Amino acid sequence: MPKPNIVFFLAESWDGRALGCMGHPAMQRATPNIDGLASRGVLFRQAYCSHPICCPSRANIWSGRYTHHCESWNNHKGLEPGDRTLMDLLHEAGYRFAADDYRDIGLGKSDYRSGGHSHPARVTSWTGAADIRLPVYGRGDQDLQIMTKERNAWKGDWEKISRAKDFLCAHADHQEDPFFLYIATSAVHPSYRTTSYWMERIDRDKVEVPPEDEELHPVMEYQRINKNWRHGFAPETVKMFRAAYYAMCAEADAMVGEVMTTMDDLDLWDDTYFVFTSDHGELALEHRSWYKMSMYEGSSRVPLVMAGPDIPRGRRIDNIVSLIDIFPTLTEITEVPSPGDIDGESLMPLARGRTGRSRNWALALHTGESTNTTMFMLRRGEWKFVAYPGFEPQLFNLAEDPKEIRNLSRATSDVAGRMDRELRAIVDYEKVHQRCMRYNRESFREWRRRAKAGEFSDSSYSRSPDNPATTYEEIMANCYVGWSAEHEAKLNRWLEGDETQLQK
């Protein structure tokens, strides 16, 4: 039997609850194509990322290993040259890719390797545990633009879709080898850019203003300062930004539809699997926050929809699953042997209806930007437990409190203790925290040595190619808004501390 083809569509920053087929009130007219894909196959209703930020999430997907195993600590530190990836295995098995270099995978973002992103992205990841309480974000990515004279706001993504369709048409003429078509859109990542055409797809009167947390966790307090939301939280402001985010989802859904229509026209569904998901979610002003980088549902939940030749139509699965399961799922589909050190499990037995049993829990870590410690999340049953080394944990009952506004870690200490023990049985999170802190200190010390030697030039954020930051002091002032000698002294105290010491 010939090997099947795979279309893997990875949208950026898509809250897994924001689909019509997930019952989202404001999205009933916004995602007809992904809803249609779910009707063709299976919808995993409780899917989670394994690391809620871009590069580490992709590194987990393509290596099949959690961050504490592959050491994808932040957006600058992903997989290293020589690390085995799913693409290596598929290439060896004879799969064709849309990119000339299969390690670049295909069409769109492929930032799963070390060395990318700006100096501020890497520096603030390394130095977050120094607890520098200054804004980092809040610049262009918070802009809101609703255009009225055109249909498509994400022109670069539409060019990817056009190239994807060309690739599929070329395959129709040369069907000797199976293909792996990877499409990764920049939508729906902030900034909030859309058009009135897509805004009309959103039921604006059903866009919710999220409730406030009963108490502000200290790690989230740091994150609010760091993320620096500029526009306030007036109800109409919140609704406008959230509607714009959903409208971006509507445009990305239309991109999915273009690919599906091309597959219809070329009669590819009999030997092609289509997988749609995202690298992480987007808070979109839930918990008075934006971006990802937390374990709240808006940030850690992802969509996951699959259709293919032997997947029954219209299945809905509530087992808790993870993006760490993508690697073994795709190796099972392609009949490529999986290495023995991967962390996930194949979802194909669930998808094909051969069993209702699975691991049924999800683990996620966050060790990168916008946090003053590390985060470790275990979702099992109705409970979500989040450990923050050096700080009190969070515990949410998602059945009773789906908005996660009530931390039960003290009121239900017996459950919190049990979940903590179960999490520790999966990962020794304090040791992982210490490893990450050691990496952060060593990386920053070396970066600072080179920065003071004049080796770097930074034109990101408030700087420009015509006026780059070139000295250590200038680059740090571009990393943290309001950087001063006082903050340098605080950073030095952290650097001189014991890397095994936890935050207090």
125 upstream amide cis, omega within 30 of 0:
no
Distance CA 212, CA 236 (A): 15
Question: What contacts 226, CB < 8 A, 6 or more positions away?
Answer: 124, 128, 133, 134, 135, 136, 137, 370, 371
CA distances 291 to 284, 288, 298, Å, are 7, 11, 9
Alpha-carbon Rg for the chain in angstroms: 22
Please return the burial class of 467, using the count of CB atoms within 10 Å of its CB with bins 0-12, 13-18 and 19+.
exposed
Residues in the chain: 504
Q: Which residues pair with 366 in a beta bridge?
A: 375
Distance CA 410, CA 421 (A): 16
393 — phi, psi (to 5°)? Answer: -80, 175
CA distances 372 to 130, 242, 433, 461, Å, are 7, 27, 11, 21
At 98, the amino acid letter reads A
- Give which of 344, 390, 430, 313 is closest to 130, Cα–Cα: 390
Under 8 Å between Cβ of 131 and 372:
yes
Token digits of residue 299? 């940030």
Other C-beta atoms closer than 10 Å to the C-beta of 385 total 24
Pick the catalytic residue from 21, 54, 436, 479: 54
Q: Which residues pair with 272 in a beta bridge?
A: 5
Question: What contacts 425, CB < 8 A, 6 or more positions away?
Answer: none
3-state secondary structure of 276: strand
Distance CA 472, CA 337 (A): 48
298 — phi, psi (to 5°)? Answer: -60, -30
Under 8 Å between Cβ of 192 and 291:
no
Residues 235-259 as b or e (16 or more Cβ within 10 Å = b): eeebbbbbbbbbbbbbbbbbbbbeb
Token digits of residue 378? 């275990």
Please return the burial class of 48, using the count of CB atoms within 10 Å of its CB with bins 0-12, 13-18 and 19+.
buried
At 54, the amino acid letter reads C
Question: What contacts 419, CB < 8 A, 6 or more positions away?
Answer: 378, 380, 383, 385, 395
Does 21 participate in catalysis according to the annotation? no
DSSP one-letter code for 190: S
Catalytic site positions: 54
